[in-house]
Amino acid sequence: MTAAAQTKAEFDGTKQRMDPVLVGLWISLVLVALIWVAPFVFMIFTSLKTNEAVMATGAFTPPPTYAWENYTEAWGRGRFDVTFFNSAIIAIIKVPLGLAISAMGAYALARMEIAWGKVILVVILFGTMIPFQVMLAPLFTLVNSFDLIDTYPGIILPYIAFGVPYQVFILHGFFRNVPKELSEAAMIDGASHFTIFRRIFLPVSLPVLAALFILDFVATWNEFAMALVLLQNQNMWTLPLGLMSFQGQFSNDYGQLNAAIVMTVLPATIVYLMFQRYFVSGLTSGAVKE
C-alpha cells in the first residue's frame, strides 16, 4: 500500500490509546449489527421449524426439533434442481458477457472520439432511470417476435440491455480518470485501441470490474419480474420463479418457505463472501479524485 495508507494505519489503530469514543463506537456498531442480523436468524430458525412450531413458539426460540425435511421438501416442491441450473447458466453467461460489453462501450465513450459520443452517453445514462416493470408487456412482445421466449438468449439479452446503463456510468467515470499518459505511450507505439483496452485498461480496472461482477451477479441471480414474463416454460424457470411455488393461492407453510429462501440466498452470499475483499478497493478506484 502507499505511504499515506501506512500513516493512516498508525494514526487510527496502533496508537492503542483505548480511545473511549472508539470503544463506545465499537459497542454501538456491534449492537446494531446484531439487530441487523436478527431477520436472518429469524429466517433460519423458522426454516427449521414445523408449521405448528412456527405458530406455537416465539420468533427467536430455537427450533424444538430440527425439521430438516423442510429443506428437502422445499427442494422438491420448488424444483430447485431445475431452477438452480437455469439460474446458474444464465448468471454465468450473462454477468461476464454483459460486463465485457459495458466495459468496451465505456472505454470507447471515455477515451475515443465517437461521433455523437456525448449524446450516446446521455441516452445510455437515461437507461438507469427506467422502471422496467412497466415495460414487461412490450418486452415480451419484442422477444416473442424474435421467437426467443423460453430461451436463454431471450432472457440474457434483455438482462444485458438493462445492465449496460449503470455499468457504463460507473466504468466511464473510472476510465476517464485513468492518466492519459498510459494510453498515449501505447498509441505512439502504434497499438490499436483494442490492444490498449485489453492490455492497459482491463488490468487497471480489475477491482472495479470485480465489484461490478458481484453487484451484477447478485442482481441477475435475484431477478424476478422479467424472468416471470419471458420464461413461460417451467423447465426454464430461474430460482426466484421457483419460489413462486411457495406463494400459491393459500399457501401457508412458513417453514418450507423460509427454507426455500435460505437456499435461494446462499449462492449469492457465497459469491459475495468470495469476492468481497475486492469490493471496497474496487469501488474506491471508481470514485476517487486526487
Q: Under rule CB under 8 A, which residues in 210-249 are in contact with another protein? A: 218, 221-222, 224-225, 228-229, 232-235, 240, 243-245, 247-249
Which of 113, 109, 110, 117 minimizes the C-alpha distance to 180? 110
Taking the C-alpha atoms of residue 54 and residue 218, their distance in angstroms, rounded to an integer, is 29
List alpha helices for 63-205, DSSP H.
69-77, 80-111, 117-126, 136-145, 152-176, 180-188, 193-196, 202-204
CB neighbour class for 47 (10 Å; exposed up to 12, middle 13-18, buried from 19): buried
Please tell me whether residue 144 binds another protein under the rule CB under 8 A: yes
Query: Using the 8-state DSSP alphabet, how is residue 266 labeled?
Result: H
Q: How far is CA 69 from the centre of its chain?
A: 30
Taking the C-alpha atoms of residue 4 and residue 109, their distance in angstroms, rounded to an integer, is 33
Please tell me whether residue 138 binds another protein under the rule CB under 8 A: yes
Let me know the angle formed at the C-alpha of 172 by 171 and 173, rounded to the nearest 5 degrees.
90
Please tell me whether residue 206 binds another protein under the rule CB under 8 A: no
Please tell me whether residue 168 binds another protein under the rule CB under 8 A: yes
Shortest CB 97 distance to another protein, Å: 6
Please tell me whether residue 14 binds another protein under the rule CB under 8 A: yes
Stretch that binds another protein, among 62-70, 165-173, 178-186 (CB under 8 A): 165-173
Q: Using CB under 8 A, which of 92, 185, 274, 287 touches another protein?
A: 287
Please tell me whether residue 29 binds another protein under the rule CB under 8 A: yes
- Dihedral of the alpha carbons of 197, 203, 204, 209, in degrees to the nearest 10: 90
Please tell me whether residue 153 binds another protein under the rule CB under 8 A: yes
Please tell me whether residue 88 binds another protein under the rule CB under 8 A: no
Please tell me whether residue 141 binds another protein under the rule CB under 8 A: yes
Shortest CB 110 distance to another protein, Å: 11
Q: Using CB under 8 A, which of 20, 189, 203, 288 touches another protein?
A: 288
Q: How far is CA 135 from the centre of its chain?
A: 22
Please tell me whether residue 178 binds another protein under the rule CB under 8 A: no
Q: Using CB under 8 A, which of 82, 88, 148, 200 touches another protein?
A: 148
Q: Using CB under 8 A, which of 31, 40, 66, 182 touches another protein?
A: 40
